[in-house]
A and B are shown apart, each in its own frame.
Chain A
Amino acid sequence: MAKLTLTIDGMSRTIDIDDPDMPLLYALRDELSFNNPRFGCGLGQCGACTVQIDGHAVRSCITPVSALEGRKITTLAGLGTPDKPHPIQTAWLEEQVSQCAYCISGWILTAAELIDRNPKPTDAQIKDALKDLICRCGTHGAAIRAVKRATRQA
């Protein structure tokens, strides 16, 4: 049993790890109750489990927890708050994008990374950045419109 300290949404949390290969998703949800990354496939195919690690959108279901000591982990709740929203969250509300929102961590954290790195993405770049995300409610088009809206305001 090893101790591991993770930095999540600006908070420091220490957990006991008996399996270094345990995906980050289970540490976040089951051990620490950071619930926004959700189990979707466990295969890195859908994005529902997305968090940002040092600003990069990463699929926590296939990322071993032991590799993350000292890295900055950001969940959806840590990206912004109603008082201090990330521009993509503001745009998401203005476009009223989501339906069930089970997949929302993947879409918002991936879109946030895109516009943080590239404040004026082209339509093709937006579509490409979001192309590996699953949403069964069909919010894809609305998500693209939200990214455009967020970048016009930026």
Chain B
Amino acid sequence: MTDMTNIMMDSQLSRRAFLSTTGALVVSLAAPGEWSEAAANTLATRPPLKGDQLSSYITIEPDGTVVAYYGKIDGGQGLGTAIAQMVAEEIDVAYERVKVVMGDSGVTLDMGGASAAIGVSHGGMMLRRTAAETRRLLIEMASHKLSLAADALTVTDGVVHAKADRTKRVSYAELIGGRYLDNKVKWNGRLSNGLQVEVEAPLKQHTEFKVIGKSLPRRDLPGKVFGTLEMVNDVRLPNMLHARMIRPTVAGAVPVKVDEDSIKHIPGAKAVWIKDLLAVVAEKEWNAVKAARALKVTWSESKPSFPGHDRLHEHIRKAPIVKRELQRENGNFEEGIKQAVRVIEGEYEFPTQSHSSTGPACAVADVRDGEATIYTSTQKPYDSAYCVAELLALPKEKVRAVWMFGTGSYGRNDQGDATADAAVLSKHLGRPVRVQYMRHEGIAWDPKGTASVNRSRAGLDATGKVIAYENISKAFSRLDSNTRETRAADVLAGQLLGLPVNRSESFEIPVASYTFDHGRLGWETIPPLLERASPLRSTHLRDPYGPPILFGSESFIDEMAAATNTDPVDFRLRYLTNPRDRDAVRIAAESYGWQKRPSPRNDQKDSDIAIGRGIAFRRHFTTFIGLVAEVRVHRKTGKIDLLRYVCAHDVGMIVNPETLKHVIDRQLVYGTSRAMLEEVRFDANMVTSVDWESYPVLHTPDLPEKIEIVLIERPDTAPSGAAEMALGLVPAAIGNAVFDATGVRLRRVPFTPERVKAALDRA
């Protein structure tokens, strides 16, 4: 009781302090029973967006509809639905009457856009807390209005009523509808992924859940299925021009002469040339396309001397190390490896991969009168707005990013680049500009997922116990092109306009789930192949370092198991101590029907066809995943048939089980594409993957035959993320299954038939 009084006192004091400093509203704090409309702590207009302002997160419309302001976005995995469920649960309003507004920097706080699969665990939790706080404050208001103690009240679908007598009631709409709570929440002062708020109201216990945990259908799908949902590509502003960017055929080349006569036969077409940035614009879109094809440009001589994709890993091995970081060490690896009676080593190569979104990037910008509005489907609209502000030399608050649905981005793809291009062109031309990249730009010019060589070493003692373990990646920095795209030079436009490049050195390590006496996990970065405006600049591709590192680390765990003649599941369990780690491995294996034995099978040596199974495991944040793959290998052709995946998935509290399963299912298919098919090709001068023939991706014939997903339920734990964690396991699970089938280790992604055949033939 004393605590409660103190909290209320604090709340009232801080509120009074706030009001007196702003002078915005004079309120006399009324004693219980003396409540009046005038005394309510509400405002007629929404207070400015700020992290400590409750109305920046949740508001109530005149009809009682709840609006949740979500400073992230939904890349197509159904976050709008999950967020509405979380808010409805805490605020006690029917799910149907909770609206979610996403990614508009004019009305939603910067919660970082889509990033690191924390849409639910971060953004969702902030809205859940502020929804609970809104409910608490509305009950407090109702308590005054109804002259009943707050703890005698409850809420049913937006109506506060006495627990004992439902006729004593007042609705949220009556209490607040059309006005705004002017209350503070405890904010840590940070935005983006670092934003945190705390509130007085407790969250509901999972045993009280009515909406969280239900498999409600996705809200965004009817509009998509019936073709009524507007995407960024569909924005048409009055007086808008269509633009196409002109890229060189040799990386690093810049325009030295532009022959405007070469497009004068195309109605309305004109070239725009600003420093090294070159585009064509036209009133009609098709004329912009034609002008882009027709424009004659003389380019500067450039000799990027790329190693070519075939020799890329040789290049990585030999390249000087720019930065080496031993990110995690336990024990003393050097001492440990000296004590070993047996040392095993393994190297694994991962290729350059492209975001290669289904739609090449598109954006519309309207820059005028010292302000800019950008219509974008980048997954980081706030960062894109900051980037545009710097590019155009505008104050941050003068650039509004309006995020809209568009093509999936799968990380930091080309959409931020297109948004910046549109803004630069719009400012230059004084008209709204729509930039639509062409197919080659979406594959050849997007920022890339980095190639790497992952090498492991392990020392075993006389009993076969692993006493020393090392895992080191050598790669291009994953922040060669900054994934947050907040700075002008994080995008091609900034680099072409000559701004200082904003690169930094970073890679990652596998999560140290396994406990070895002496461990060393680290990375080394190498110089970029081209400093500025490189088609091979590297950044975050979905699950930024998961597939490259896990392909190495989880294949090597399997190598250690095989070296000690141990079943791969048993081997993992021997070195995993965390119960959730262990459960993910154990449940995946049990659900598959795993028969214990060491790999490889050795009973199919005389057969052209060999079947095998492999497991891979990871923890990422507090998501725990075990994946078993079963494959059939055709020795004569090197073709791998994917017979079955079984994925055990522990994400903590589950908001929407069916949607979660879909997220995992689609992601395993996507991960299959990257494991089996995807590799950016390039020669000495330029990326040569320019379309779906030169950058092969998964089609229906390449599908795994069966995908089974087992959700591990932990309703009493905090939710983690699911949007990208499972896909990183696909290459290792397949590689381990191929080893089980054939005794041959695959050391290079993608597992094309030619490459698999070559590996089989070498054995």
Contacts and interface: CB of A to CB of B under 8 A. Distances in A.
B670 A137 contact: yes
Given A96-B662, A99-B76, A108 B225 contact: yes
Nearest to A61: B439
Interface string B263-285: 00001000000000000000011
B225 A93 contact: yes
A45 B692 contact: yes
Contact of A102 (B220, B406, B701): B406
B691 A41 contact: yes
Contacts of A58: none
A102 B408 CA distance: 8
A83 to B, nearest CB: 10
Nearest to A139: B666
A42 B285 CA distance: 13
Contacts of A36: 227
B209 interface: no
A26 B285 contact: yes
Nearest to A98: B224
B701 A127 contact: yes
Interface string B714-755: 000000000000000000000000000000000000000000
B698 A138 contact: yes
Contacts of B662: 96, 99, 142
A82 B221 contact: no
A76 B225 CA distance: 8
Contacts of A108: 225
A122 interface: no
B707 A141 contact: yes
B359 A38 contact: yes
B703 A140 contact: yes
Contact of A139 (B234, B290, B669): B669
Given A33-B236, A42-B438, A136 B356 contact: yes
Interface in B662-710: 662, 665-673, 691-693, 697-701, 703-704, 707
Given A39-B436, A144-B700, A100 B234 contact: no
B543 to A, nearest CB: 13
B621 interface: no
A85 B225 CA distance: 10
Contacts, number: 176
Contacts of B693: 45
Interface in A79-99: 79-82, 85, 89, 92-93, 96, 98-99
B233 A38 contact: yes
Contacts of A142: 662, 665-666
Contact of B286 (A22, A41, A105, A128): A22
A150 to B, nearest CB: 12
Contacts of B405: 100-101
Nearest to A144: B700
A19 interface: yes
B234 A35 contact: yes
B220 to A, nearest CB: 8
Given A93-B225, A140-B699, A39 B231 contact: no
A143 B408 CA distance: 17
Contact of A96 (B218, B285, B668): B218
Contacts of B183: none
Given A30-B285, A138-B670, A140-B700, A98 B221 contact: yes
A76 B227 contact: yes
A104 B224 contact: yes
Interface string A69-81: 0000001110111
A131 interface: yes
B408 A100 contact: yes
A133 to B, nearest CB: 7
Interface in B573-598: none
A119 to B, nearest CB: 20
Nearest to B705: A141
Interface string A33-66: 1011011111101101000000000000000000
Nearest to A103: B358
A105 B227 contact: yes
Nearest to A47: B358
B222 interface: yes
Most buried by B among A29, A99, A103, A139: A99
A135 interface: yes
Nearest to A31: B284
Contacts of B704: 141
Given A41-B692, A46-B358, A138 B667 contact: yes
B226 A137 contact: no
Most buried by B among A30, A31, A130: A30
A115 interface: no
A121 interface: no
A102 B357 contact: yes
B698 A140 contact: yes
A81 B700 contact: no
A39 B227 contact: no
Given A35-B233, A43-B691, A100-B405, A138 B226 contact: no
Interface string B204-241: 00000000000001101110111111110110100000
A137 B224 CA distance: 14
B407 interface: yes
A141 B665 contact: yes
A130 B242 contact: no
B461 interface: no
Contacts of A141: 665, 669, 703-704, 707
Contact of A138 (B220, B357, B362, B666): B666
B225 A100 contact: no
B431 to A, nearest CB: 16
B666 A40 contact: no
B408 A39 contact: no
Contacts of B701: 127, 131
B289 to A, nearest CB: 8
Given A39-B362, A46-B692, 7 more contacts: A19-B286, A38-B233, A40-B360, A41-B692, A80-B226, A138-B665, A139-B666
15 contacts: A18-B267, A19-B286, A23-B286, A30-B286, A39-B436, A45-B693, A76-B226, A82-B222, A93-B225, A96-B218, A104-B224, A133-B700, A134-B358, A139-B669, A142-B665
